[in-house]
């Protein structure tokens, strides 16, 4: 069964938004945000610099970055920002160069306005100024396949059991289920909470039963 057909009801006809940010090594944020209800897709890559065609080994002046597509009817951009700022140290004195910089790239005026509001809120909570590099989104270069859903890829036995859903490893990239599994193995979700969420997904019954049964019986 095609995973994208199974998950179609999660995004078809919905007005999704995209958020782009850097908060240190991109593996952890990919798993953290991939675990959140309302997040449809996650991907990691490079943004914020001018070096053409950045790669992991030759990143130049870019930053390790996460992009998420999310449903604002479930998860508001303001709440994305709160997760972002509460889960890393957003000041530059701990960073060497730009690879692990606290970075936020806004895609429209509404995102800029939300960022300013939530930034002030977080500065009050933290009791110090936030130095996140905030600017207009310009471009994002997808990272190499080995970095996508990194923690899930560390469980080859689980990947074998997922093979029928993901016959090509690149299919992990845009899958909501894969994003949740990546968050689960990193410890951001419990088994029961993830099963409860999947049970409420607006997808076809056969596909829902397949995902729940697969996850319930998965050997890691």
Show which residues are catalytic: 25
User: Which structure tokens are listed for 22?
Assistant: 């850097």
Sign of the C-alpha dihedral computed for residues 185, 200, 40 and 104 taken in this order: negative
Say how far apart CA 113 and CA 95 lie, in whole Å.
Answer: 26
Say how far apart CA 18 and CA 137 lie, in whole Å.
Answer: 11
Say how far apart CA 184 and CA 220 lie, in whole Å.
Answer: 12
Distances in Å between the Cα of 169 and the Cα atoms of 25, 53, 85 are 22, 23, 31
Sign of the C-alpha dihedral computed for residues 73, 75, 4 and 68 taken in this order: positive
């Amino acid at each position: 069964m095609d995973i994208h057909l199974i998950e179609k009801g999660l995004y078809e006809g919905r007005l999704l938004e995209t958020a782009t940010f850097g908060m240190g090594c991109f593996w952890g944020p990919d798993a953290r945000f991939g675990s959140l209800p309302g997040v449809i897709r996650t991907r990691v890559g490079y943004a914020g610099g001018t070096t053409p065609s950045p790669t992991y080994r030759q990143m130049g002046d870019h930053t390790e970055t996460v992009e998420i597509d999310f449903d604002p009817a479930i998860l508001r951009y303001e709440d994305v920002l709160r997760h972002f700022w509460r889960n890393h140290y957003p000041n530059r004195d701990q960073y060497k160069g730009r690879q692990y910089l606290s970075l936020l790239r806004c895609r429209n005026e509404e995102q800029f306005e939300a960022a300013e509001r939530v930034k002030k809120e977080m500065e009050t909570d933290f009791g110090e100024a936030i130095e996140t590099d905030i600017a207009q989104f310009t471009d994002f270069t997808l990272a190499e396949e080995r970095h996508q859903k990194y923690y899930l890829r560390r469980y080859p036995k689980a990947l074998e059991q997922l093979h029928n859903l993901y016959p090509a490893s690149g299919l992990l990239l845009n899958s909501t289920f894969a994003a949740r599994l990546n968050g689960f193995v990193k410890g951001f979700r419990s088994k029961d909470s993830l099963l409860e969420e999947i049970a409420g997904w607006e997808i076809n019954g056969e596909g829902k039963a397949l995902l729940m049964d697969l996850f319930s019986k998965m050997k890691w």
